[in-house]
Structure formats: structure tokens, C-alpha cells
Amino acid sequence: MDFALSDEERAVRDTVRAFITREVMPLEAEVLRRERAHQPGLDHSEVRELQLKARKFGFWGLATPEEYGGMNLPAVLQSLIWTELGRTFVPFRFGGEADNILFHATEEQKREFLIPTIEGERRSCFAITEPGAGSDAANIRLSARRDGDDWILDGEKTFITGGHDADFAIVVAVTDREKGARNGGATAFLVDRSMGWRSEFIQTMGEGGPASLIFDGVRVPHRNILGEIGQGFTLGMEWIGKGRYTIPSHAIGIAERVLQMAIDYANTRETFGTKIGANQAIQWMIADSETELEAARWLVLRSAWTVDAGLDPRHASSMGKLYGAGMVNRVVDRVLQIHGGMGYTRELPIERWYRQVRLYRIFEGTDEMQRLIISRDLLRGYTKIGGHLA
């Protein structure tokens, strides 16, 4: 058994780390200043400029196939890169990406939606959640009714990331209520904003925010169906599957960064004539955080490895998402505690991370949904205890 990174993995990881340290982290003070003035941390042109700089370093389209100019990296490498991105709160991600399910597009759709998204000329959002259907995504109601060569969409989506800025939405709608979403009754549509949907921004405890999308008789041409009629739910689950290892990978980077802050603080802050790090209470918080961080790292890397090995990654990914999301919440909470009153102020970014990571236990499958998947797999005998080593 070899737990080491290959030379290639290490080289890629180190190059990304150098880029983030040199080009992205120096923006942190300005991002905090803007966010505290209720402005976006970075505007789109600034993100794009950074993405083009990263492109020169060779980082463009981590998950995008080479024929579209991307790197098509294995999931393990992508996971390592998401961890590096997590080490800064600057809202940056590499360019050249598109929603994984957009690659199911027809040639015409690729020209209209996929390629401009990869190039950063158009912005997408993915919409399955509705006011009455979140965890129970199969209960969606937004309907698509056939009318000649078009479909008419009526209903509402909610909590859609990027929904207020997107030029187009990938919308999962009910096309056959009798069948039900899970059994071929839902279809994905590519819907331009110009076709008539509107968005309403939703304030959250995090920076930025999702949006509700309102469809009131929105007419969409038949040629804008993504994939096959009836394939919408499957595509939705494929979209969500990607986040099951990228979200906890990001969480690991956050935990690494804040834990180092706590160690530095414990080694300098003095009370009662000694460094606070001399107290067992502080040492235990550091020890527990490092232990949980390492446990999350290997769970998540194993789930990414499962993707690369062509195995069914769902069980491993659910464990990684559940544990990684919980771990980062516990670590940030302890780090805030170690910083005492300073941790609670807005002079330090810890409270920002505290608010940010709370989301990780909710979106793209709540903790409870991950537990449901993990236990169901075991109870019905689909998965053996011990995973691929069983």
C-alpha cells in the first residue's frame, strides 16, 4: 500500500499552491474589505483576469476533456487542486469549466451553450431544487408542457447557485407526471434568460447568495432539451455526484489553513504568563482537529480514487461529503474558540469561514441524505463494510 503522491501529483499540487499563494491570497484583505461593505469580494472581470493568468500557468478546464482545450484531470488530482483552492476564501476557481452534464449536449447545443461556458463568455446555473422539493428532489413540480415545436415551462426553482447572474439555466422539469421524476418523467432543458425567466436574489448567512428562478409560461424550443426526454433526473444526480468529492476536498483546504492559524496563535498568545498552547485544553482541540482532518483527507481521496478506478463512487463519496462537511465545521469552531474574542471579530476571517462552511452540511445532499445513502447501501447489501478492500 502506497499513500504517497506520485511525482506528477506532487508537481501539479505544488504549482497550484504557488499560484494561489502568489496571485490569489494577496487579494484577501481587499476581498474582506469589500464584503464588509456589502459588495462582491471580486467582480466577474477580476475573476476572469485571474483565470486567464492561471491559463498561462497551464491551469484551464480541470475536468474539461482535451478536445475542448481542458486538462481532463483524474479525480484524485482534481481533489488535490480543490483542497489548494480551499486554502483561501477569495472567491476564485479555475476557468475553462462547464457543468459536467453539459457534455451531453448536441453539436448545436455545444456551440450555443457548452463552448461559450468553457470560454467564460456565458454563465450557467443548474436548477433542480424547488420550494417543495429539496432533499426529496423527485418531488419536483415545475412543469414542461409540449406545444407544437416548443415546451412551456411553469413553476419555480429555488436556492440556485449563480442563478441571479446566469445567462442560461439547466432546468429539470416534469414532462410526464404519471411516470414520476425518478422513472423517466423529468427532462432537462437549456433555458436562456432571454426566453423569459426571472430571478430573485436570496440573502443567506454566507457571502454571495443563490436565487429563486421563476418560470411563468416560458416557451423553450424542443431543440433545447439536454440529453433525452425523461433523462432529467438521472442528469440531475450526475450533476450532484461531482460535488460529493469536490466539496469535502475544498473543506480539507479550509481546515488546513485555519488549523495553522490556530497553531500560530496558540504559540504566541499568552495568558497567566504562558502561551495558551501550553494548556491541555488547547492542545486537545488542535489534536482532535488534525486527526479529523487526516481522516477526512483519506476518505475523500479514496472517494476520488473510486471515480478514477471506474467503480461506483456513490457510497464512498457520501461518506467523504458527510465526514468532510462535519469535520470542517468542527475544526473552524475550535479554531474560533482558540482565538477567543478575536475569533469572533471581523478583523479576522475566521467568522467568515464559520458562516461559509455551515452550508457544506446542507447543499448537494444534506448530512441526513448522506447518512440515508450510506445506511441504505449497507442494509440492502449493495455495499460491504470495508469498501473496495472487503
- Give residues in contact with ligand FAD (CB under 6 A): 126-129, 134-136, 159-161, 204, 210, 359, 362-364, 366, 368-369, 372
| 130, 207, 292, 364: the active-site residue | 364
* Nearest approach, Cβ of residue 103 and ligand FAD (Å): 18
Residue nearest to ligand FAD (CB): 134
Name the minimum Å distance from CB 341 to ligand FAD.
29
Q: Distance (Å, rounded) from C-alpha 325 to C-alpha 247?
A: 8
- DSSP secondary structure letters along 298-359: HHHHHHHHHHHTTS--HHHHHHHHHHHHHHHHHHHHHHHHHTHHHHHSSSSSHHHHHHHHHG
Per-residue burial over 258-278, b = 16 or more CB atoms within 10 Å of its CB, e = otherwise? bbebbbebbeeeeeeeeebbe
Give the residue with the Cβ less far from ligand FAD, 208 or 387: 208
CA–CA separation, 390 and 388 (whole Å)? 6
Question: CB-wise, 17 or 104, nearer to ligand FAD?
Answer: 104
Which lies closer to ligand FAD via its Cβ, residue 144 or residue 293? 144
At its nearest, how many Å lie between ligand FAD and the CB of residue 211?
9
Distance CA 387, CA 312 (A): 11
- The alpha carbon torsion through 267, 268, 271, 272 (nearest 10 deg) reads 80
Q: Any idea what DSSP says for residue 384?
A: -
Instruction: Of 218, 155, 158, give the one whose Cα is nearest residue 192.
Output: 218
Shortest distance in whole angstroms from residue 287 CB to ligand FAD: 30
CA distances from 11 to 165, 252, 283, 375, 382 (A): 35, 19, 33, 38, 37
Q: What is the largest CA-CA distance in the chain?
A: 80
Give 330 or 358: the residue with its C-beta nearer to ligand FAD: 358
Task: Name the residue among 161, 170, 253, 249 with its Cα closest to residue 204.
Answer: 161
- Smaller CB separation from ligand FAD, 128 or 255: 128
**30 is a catalytic site residue:** no
| Cα–Cα distance, 390 to 387 (Å, whole number) | 5
Q: How far is the CB of 378 from ligand FAD (least distance, A)?
A: 16
Q: Which is nearer to ligand FAD, 32 or 188 (CB)?
A: 188
Residue 192 Cβ vs ligand FAD, minimum distance, rounded to whole Å: 18
What positions carry a catalytic annotation?
364
